Amino acid sequence: MQEIAKNVFIEDQFLGVVLGVIVTPRGLIQIDAPPAPEDARSWRASLMSLGGGAEHLLVNLDAHPDRTLGARAMDCPVVAHEKTAFIFRARPNAFKAQGEETGADWESIPGLGSVRWAPPEISFLDQLSIHWGDSPVVLEHRPGPADGAIWAHLPQEKIIFLGDSVLKNQPPFLAGSNLKEWMDNLKELLSPEYKGYVFVSGRGGIVNAAIIKTQYDFLKVAYDKLNKSSAKKTTPAATEKLVASLTAHFKAPAARQKQFAQRLRYGITHYNIRPQYAPSAASED
C-alpha cells in the first residue's frame, strides 16, 4: 500500500484494478474492490490497520466486473452513478463466470464460480460530495469509458481517481464507451485547471500528463478507424485487421497481447452494434 498524500492510499498489487482508500475521522472511503475473493479478504484485513472512524463506504467508479465483483466482500454500503445502479438492477442477483471472453482481468481467476453482486445503495446523477472530514471527496459523472463512469475528486489534496478514463500500457474497454465524451474529458485533464494534480489510473496507478496525452492519442486513432469502418460493412476480416493495428500500440508479454487483442476484438464488435455511440453519429471538434 502506498500513501500518495496524507490519509490517502492506493494499492496496485491485486489482480484487477488499482484500489484506493481515504482515511477520515468518520471512517474509510474505499475506491473499488478486487475481484478475487481471497484478495478481497486480504484487502479488508489491510484496511483494519489504517485507523479512522468506524464507518466504511465503497465507491464503484463504474460497473465493470473487475472493480465490482468483490464489492459484497467489503461488507459496507456502495455508492455509484445512477446509470451504474441501473445496470445492476438489470443484472441477475448472482454473477456466473461464463460467457464470451471480454479481455478483462477477472476472467483469469480460477474457480470463481457464482458470486452475488452488491448493487449500489446510494446513487446520484451529476455530482455527489462526501463530507466525512475536513476536506470533501467529490464524485463526478464522467461518461466516456462507460455510461456510469465517475471520478473521485479530492479538490483540496489535488488528487483524482480516474477509473478507466486512463489506462497505462493497456487497451481500453470499448464496448460501452462514448469516445467523443471520453476524449473531451481527457482534454480537460490536460488543461491548466488541473496543473499540479496527482492522477490515479484504475489500471496503472499514478499517471502523468504524458500518459494522459498518450491515452487521448490512442482514442483519437481508434475513433478515426472506427469512423472509417462504420461507413462500410464490417467483416470479421476487417475487425481482425483493426484489432492487429490497435494492439500494436501496446508492449506486453505474449499472454497479455492475446488478452489485449481479445479485449479490443470484443470492444470493437460491440461498439459497432451500438448506433447511439457510433463515431459517425458524433460531431467532430
Amino acid (one-letter) located at 258: K
pLDDT, averaged across the chain: 90
Does residue 237 lie within any of the structural domains? no
Per the structure, the count of domains in the chain is 1
Structural domain contains residue 36 = yes
Question: Can you give the pLDDT at residue 284?
Answer: 33
HSE-CB of 251 using CA atoms within 13 angstroms: 0
- Residue 103: per-residue pLDDT: 92
**Position 134 in a domain:** yes
pLDDT at 233: 62
Instruction: Tell me the pLDDT tens digit for each residue of 23-46.
Output: 999 999 999 999 998 999 999 999
276 has pLDDT over 80: no
The Cα–Cα gap between 194 and 186 comes to 11
User: Quick one: which of 24, 3, 57 has its CA closest to 134?
Assistant: 24
198 lies in some domain: yes
Domain assignment present for residue 217? The answer is yes
Q: Which domain holds residue 116?
A: 2-223
Q: What is the pLDDT of residues 120-145, one digit of tens each?
A: 999 999 999 999 999 999 999 999 99
Q: Which amino acid is at 19?
A: L
Whole-model pTM: value is: 0.91
More confident residue, 285 or 152: 152
In a domain, residue 133? The reply is yes
Given this model, what pLDDT does residue 280 score? 36
Please provide the DSSP assignment of 186-236 as one string.
HHHHTSGGGTT-EEEEEETEEE-HHHHHHHHHHHHHHHHHHHHHHTS---H
* pLDDT score recorded for residue 115: 86
Residue 69 falls within a domain, yes or no?
Answer: yes
- 53, part of any domain: yes
The whole-number pLDDT of residue 278 equals: 41
CATH number at residue 76: 3.60.15.10
pLDDT value of residue 235:
77
